[in-house]
């Protein structure tokens, strides 16, 4: 897992794809959920091994990194999905050249798990475990 102050400049390099965690800083329910989620995210990145990193922002840079993603050229329908947080954006291009109208991407909205009750982070963990298995299988097109 990489923790950063800025998503621009993030390169794919030898990784199969990149995951970016998107949050909103001012939502109290989300803050509590994210604290619960941290352990599941650590397990997820451990399960990914060296194939894919999860990039998340420092706590003080949550809004800035989210705006880096929102500044991309999303169409209206895509933007309506990508503004829902918390979530993870998966892309297979360097962040700076990524264009959602040209490149494949997946957005995993985790918010429905946030409101389903306890243990909500565990439910996300199950999803992330399955996702890690698919991403590590190089014979499959993950998109």
Give domain status of residue 143, yes or no. Answer: no
Give domain status of residue 15, yes or no. Answer: yes
Q: What is the mean pLDDT of residues 71-89?
A: 93
The pLDDT of residue 26 is above 80: no
Place of tokens 């959602």: 100
Question: By C-alpha distance, which of 71, 70, 54 is closest to 124?
Answer: 54
With a pLDDT cut of 90, the percent of the chain lying above it is 52
Question: 99 versus 33: which is more confidently predicted?
Answer: 99
pLDDT digit string, tens, across residues 86-105: 899 999 999 999 999 999 99
Categorize the per-residue pLDDT at 119 as very low, low, confident or very high, splitting at 50, 70 and 90: very low
Give domain status of residue 142, yes or no. Answer: no
Give domain status of residue 11, yes or no. Answer: yes
The pLDDT of residue 116 is above 70: no
Per the structure, the count of domains in the chain is 1
Give domain status of residue 37, yes or no. Answer: yes
Give domain status of residue 130, yes or no. Answer: yes
Domain of 88, CATH number, reads: 3.40.30
Contact, 54 vs 45, CB < 8 A? yes
- The pTM of the full predicted model, rounded to 2 decimals, is 0.87
Give domain status of residue 28, yes or no. Answer: yes
Domain extent for 106? 2-136
Give domain status of residue 141, yes or no. Answer: no
């Amino acid at each position: 897992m990489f923790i950063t102050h800025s998503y621009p400049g993030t390169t794919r390099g030898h990784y199969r794809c990149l995951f970016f965690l998107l949050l909103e800083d001012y939502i109290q329910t989300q803050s509590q959920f994210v604290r619960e989620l941290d352990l599941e995210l650590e397990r997820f990145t451990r399960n990914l091994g060296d194939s894919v990193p999860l990039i998340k922002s420092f706590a003080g840079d949550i809004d800035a990194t989210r705006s880096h993603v929102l500044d991309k050229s999303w169409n209206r329908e895509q933007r309506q999905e990508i503004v829902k947080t918390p979530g993870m954006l998966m892309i297979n291009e360097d962040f700076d050249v990524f264009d959602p109208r040209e490149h494949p991407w997946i957005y995993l909205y985790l918010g429905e798990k946030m409101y389903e009750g306890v243990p909500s982070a565990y439910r996300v963990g199950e999803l992330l475990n399955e996702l890690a298995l698919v991403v590590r299988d190089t014979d499959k097109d993950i998109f």
